[in-house]
Amino acid sequence: MKITKLLGVAATAALATGALVTGTPAAASSDTLLNQEMVPALQRDLGLTAGQALARIQSETAAGTLEQSLASALAGSFGGASYNEATGKLRVGVTDAAKLSQVLASGAEAELVRFSAAQLDSTVDKLNAGERAADGAITGWGVDTKANRVALNVLPGKSGVVDSYLEKSGVDKTAVSVVETTSAPTLKYDVRGGDAYYINNSSRCSIGFSVNGGFLTAGHCGPGTVTGSNRVAMGSFARVSFPTNDYGHVRVNSNWVPRGVINNGTRVSGSNAAATGASVCKSGSTTGWTCGTVGAKNQTVRYAEGTVYGMTATNVRSQAGDSGGSFIAGNQAQGMLSGGNSSVTYFFPVRPALSATGTTLVLG
């Protein structure tokens, strides 16, 4: 899996059978859930009808809320959760068989698993701590909630380098699965969300989300002065965090007014994280609106330029110049596009970026 640094220059109707919470959900509409432009993108990329797209968003929103509730209630027994698109329900792993009934009572699906979410996150932390010792053929790692393991990605035919790294890291090898990928990771370079901007009048990236006084984008796009897509002076990077993280904060001048919308009019109304398996769309200045699903979270990605931790994988299509662009699920901001290849695109979650920069989303 070659994840590249690319510099741009100049809920189905069937989901109703699997209610996520008790009671009858309010009817979904494009006015309350998402912009009309997002529905065709979901139809195109996920093979849904307009009605199915709206129903799926409603189901996924409920799943995300339920995941947060169960993660808190199950505490150390919580083994992670994912969205089951076939049933429209949240699938929750638990390490304590006595708590399976508690999950089922909530309306979610329950599965007995070996490792808790905390154990898997701890495994990622140990791998992260020894990252410098990892062979170059290891392209990254992260929690695979559906498999209840930490998936470690390695180039084809190079699996032999894994054991020594796992031993050095001191992790439980049974908690790790080795996945051969097609190529190595690289970044994608790319002020309504998704609009283009230029750094030092040269490289092009995409705006992520408007915040008070500016916007968030990918950290690898900076530092430097910034001009808008119309080449009018816009501002400059106030903070860049890359590698380790991949977020950047741009402060804009008085000629620019941050708006709580993506560039097709989609409102941004919060930052609740979508569940694994939920649909998600991105807006970037090269490929525009593309959609897919949320994949594994807490992913460590090893770019040639440096390693980034805590990212989320998706199967959303992206190209050069999309970096920094907005990932949004329904009306909830998810993160800023970092990098990817032909089969995977990673985003850096918006919440840690907001916390680190001391900014707040501008809501639409």
Type of residue at 307:
T
Active-site position among 59, 144, 190, 220: 220
Distance separating alpha carbons of residues 240 and 223, to the nearest angstrom: 6
Catalytic annotation on 220? yes
Task: Answer whether 151's CB lies under 8 Å from 142's CB.
Answer: yes
- 249 classed as catalytic: no
- Residues 203, 246, 271, 279: which is the catalytic one? 246
Nearest CA to 74 among 113, 22, 126, 123? Answer: 113
- b/e per residue 160-194 (b: at least 16 CB within 10 A): eebeebbeebebeeebbebbebeebbbbbbbbbbb
| C-alpha 331 chain-centroid distance | 14
Alpha-carbon distance 286 to 196, whole Å? Answer: 8
For residue 101, how many C-alpha atoms fall within 13 Å in the half-sphere facing its CB? 1
Q: Which of 222, 167, 214 is nearest to 191 (CA)?
A: 214
Axis-axis angle for helices 162-169, 117-129 (nearest 10):
100
**What is the SS3 assignment for 332?**
strand
- Catalytic residue, from 210, 323, 326, 338: name it: 323
Tokens of 140: 């990254």
Q: Is 323 an active-site residue? A: yes
Q: Which residues are tagged catalytic?
A: 220, 246, 323
